[in-house]
Structure 1
Amino acid sequence: MAKATYNGEKNSKERSMQKLLDAVGTIIKTKGYTGLSSVNVGKAAGLNRMLINMYFGSLDNLVETYVRGKDYWVAAAGNARELMEEKKNKDTREILEALLINQLSYFHKEEEMQKIVLWQLSERSEIMFEIAEEREKLGETFFNSADPYFANTDVDLRAVAGLLVGGIYYMVLHAKSNDSLFCQIDVNSPEGLERIKNAIKQILKDTYAKAEKYKR
């Protein structure tokens, strides 16, 4: 019979590393990126903060490892990736509608993503820049598929999508931070959220209809 290998120390290290990573998520949700200090991470993990440097080299490396492991925008896209593959260039309006509505629903309920977006808006950092670049790659795939439909028209789909994404971020962050109405809409209520979704659908319907006129 083969002799069992002792993995106690290795397993203990892996458990501690995971506790530190989980602590980063906890702090982002509860305190935001400004609360990411070695002291806070150590307390949240229930570990000596010196383990951060021992296992990750620095607090920045720990935070970067955590954020890179969380694919926020892929999760927020929902079934839109499958639609892109399924429909190819057939119905890009349905794909964009799914992307935006899925993003609204996910962003509205995921406090951690809300804090990450606030971080992106508040200060420039290498990790936040790279996350934004990854998000843009997903958008590039979609826009390349949609471009033929809008060729030789004056419809700027990228600008329309940009305004919708910006509106989603701002309205959700405003509602979550202030718990107040926005343009007399309670975004925190199911009814208010549904109104925003319907507006997204209508704007996209009108945008695609305008491009269609050029083809007649």
Structure 2
Amino acid sequence: MEKKRYQGASNDKDRSKQKLIQAVGTVVKAKGYTGLTATNISKAAGLDRKLVTLYFGSVDNLIEIYIKSKDYWVAASGEVNNLTEDNQGKDTKQVLEKLLLNQLDYFYGNEEMQKIVLWQISQRSQIMFQVCEEREQLSSKFFALTDKELKGKDIDLRAIVGLLVAGIYHMVLHAKTTDSLFCEIDINKPEGMKRIKDAISLILESAYSNFNKTI
């Protein structure tokens, strides 16, 4: 019987790569996106700086991998495929509502992602451009399904979803950075969060029920 080969070196490499990816988040939370240097990341990981280039090619590649692992919409691509497959491309409102409500919970509870979105809207970078492009590819697949379901109906779902996603980002960032009310609503309290979730559901219900109007 052939003996199994020892995989220690491979396991060490995998562990080191994961440490470096996780260290990006540590640096983001402590220093913001301006602190994302190979030196800071490797120091946070407790590893040699040279491993960043050895394992990822560049610090930008490492940061991109980290961001994609944290980005809700990129990570949700598999969930979208599963949900639409279960619904056979119908009742997209149910899929969209679940995605938006989950996004609100995820973004509210993820400090690293909040820092990333602040980076995205405050500074132009190739890394964030690529991540945004991947998000758009995901949304294109989903909107292709909604176009079939809502064909001939006077509803601009892309504009509605754009406002809802932007609203989620802004309300969470406002609540987390200023700790103050927004339109007399405090989403740091359960009742405030519930009001926003109910509003999201109401907006989608109203949009999808607009079936009596035709173009």
Written as runs of structure 1 = structure 2, the 5 A alignment for 1:95-110 is 95-110=95-110
- Aligned partner of 1:33 in structure 2 is 33
Quick one: structure 1 residues 49 and 197, their matched pair in 2 at CA, closer, same or farther if it must change by over 3 Å?
Answer: same
Give 1:165 shift.
0.7
Contact 2:60 2:127 in 1 (8 A): no
C-alpha RMSD of the superposition: 2.6
- Aligned partner of 1:182 in structure 2 is 182
Contact 1:171 1:182 in 2 (8 A): yes
**Aligned residue pairs, count:** 214
- Aligned partner of 2:205 in structure 1 is 205
Give 1:203 shift.
0.9
Give 1:184 shift.
0.9
Contact 1:77 1:102 in 2 (8 A): no
- Aligned partner of 1:128 in structure 2 is 128
- Aligned partner of 2:48 in structure 1 is 48
Give 1:181 shift.
1.1
Give 1:164 shift.
0.7
Deviation sequence 1:17-37 (CA, Å, 0-9, x none): 332222112112333212212
Give 1:125 shift.
1.9
CA distance in 2, matches of 1:58, 1:8: 25
Higher relative contact order (CA 8 A, sep 6+): 2
CA distance in 2, matches of 1:134, 1:19: 25
Q: Unaligned 5+ residue runs, structure 2?
A: none
- AA in 1 matched with 2:31: K
Give 1:194 shift.
0.9
Deviation sequence 1:170-208 (CA, Å, 0-9, x none): 111111111111111111122111110100111111112
CA distance in 2, matches of 1:78, 1:111: 23
Give 1:53 shift.
3.3
Give 1:9 shift.
5.0
- Aligned partner of 1:139 in structure 2 is 139
Deviation sequence 1:59-92 (CA, Å, 0-9, x none): 2232233334445324457955433111134312
Quick one: structure 1 residues 102 and 12, their matched pair in 2 at CA, closer, same or farther if it must change by over 3 Å?
Answer: closer
CA distance in 1, matches of 2:80, 2:60: 32
Give 1:166 shift.
0.7
- Aligned partner of 1:60 in structure 2 is 60
Contact 2:23 2:44 in 1 (8 A): yes
Deviates more, 1:77-86 or 1:25-34: 77-86
Q: In percent, how many aligned pairs have the same letter?
A: 57
- Aligned partner of 1:112 in structure 2 is 112
CA distance in 2, matches of 1:64, 1:139: 20
